[in-house]
Amino acid sequence: MKITFNDAAFAALRTSVAANALVRGKAEKIAAAANNSPPTTDTPLEEPYYEVHEAGDENRARYRIATTSRRASRHEAKTFALQQALSSDG
CB closer to other proteins out of 2 and 70 = 70
Separation CA 75–CA 27 (nearest Å): 19
Residues that bind other proteins (CB under 8 A): 74, 77-78, 80, 83-84, 86-89
Residue 64 DSSP one-character state: E
Asked if 65 and 59 touch (Cβ cutoff 8 Å), the reply is no
For the CB of residue 7, give the shortest distance to other proteins in the complex, in Å: 27
Separation CA 56–CA 42 (nearest Å): 37
CB closer to other proteins out of 4 and 43 = 43
CB closer to other proteins out of 55 and 77 = 77
